[in-house]
Amino acid sequence: MESFLNGRVRVLTGDITRQETDAIVNAANSSLLGGGGVDGAIHRAGGARILEECRDIRRTCFPGGLPTGEAVITSGGLLPARFVIHTVGPIYGHHGGREPELLANCYKSALALASRNNLASIAFPSISTGAFSYPLEEAAAVSSQAIADFLKDESSISEVRLLFFSQDDLNTFLKNHRFDD
Ligand code: AR6
Q: Report the nearest atom of ligand 1 relative to the CA of 15.
A: 1
Q: What is the predicted pLDDT for the residue at 180?
A: 87
The H or E element spanning position 121 is strand 121-124
Measured between alpha carbons, how far is residue 48 from residues 45, 51, 54, 79, 98 in Å?
A: 9, 5, 10, 11, 34
pTM over 0.95: yes
pLDDT (mean) for 115-120: 98
The H or E element spanning position 145 is helix 136-152
Mean pLDDT of the chain: 97
Identify the residue with better confidence: 1 or 99.
99
36 in contact with ligand 1, CB cutoff 6 A: yes
In the chain, where the domains are located:
2-176
Rounded-to-integer distance, Cα 19 and Cα 35, Å = 20
Strand ranges of the sheet holding 9-13, from the earlier edge strand across to the other edge: 2-4, 9-13, 159-164, 121-124, 23-28, 83-88, 71-75
Q: Is residue 181 predicted with pLDDT exceeding 70?
A: no
Q: Whose C-alpha lies nearest to ligand 1, atom 21?
A: 128
Query: Residue 161 — pLDDT band, cuts 50, 70, 90?
Result: very high
Rounded-to-integer distance, Cα 74 and Cα 119, Å = 13
Nearest of 10, 29, 1 to residue 144 by alpha carbon: 10
102 in contact with ligand 1, CB cutoff 6 A: no
Q: Is 89 helix (H, G, I), strand (E, B) or coil?
A: coil
pLDDT digits (tens, 9 = 90+) for 63-113: 999 999 999 999 999 999 999 999 999 999 999 999 999 999 999 999 999
Q: Quick one: what percent of the chain has pLDDT higher than 70?
A: 99
Give residue 144 CA to ligand 1 midpoint distance, Å. 18
CATH entry 3.40.50.2300 includes domain 2-176: no
Q: What is the predicted pLDDT for the residue at 1?
A: 78
pLDDT (mean) for 5-32: 98
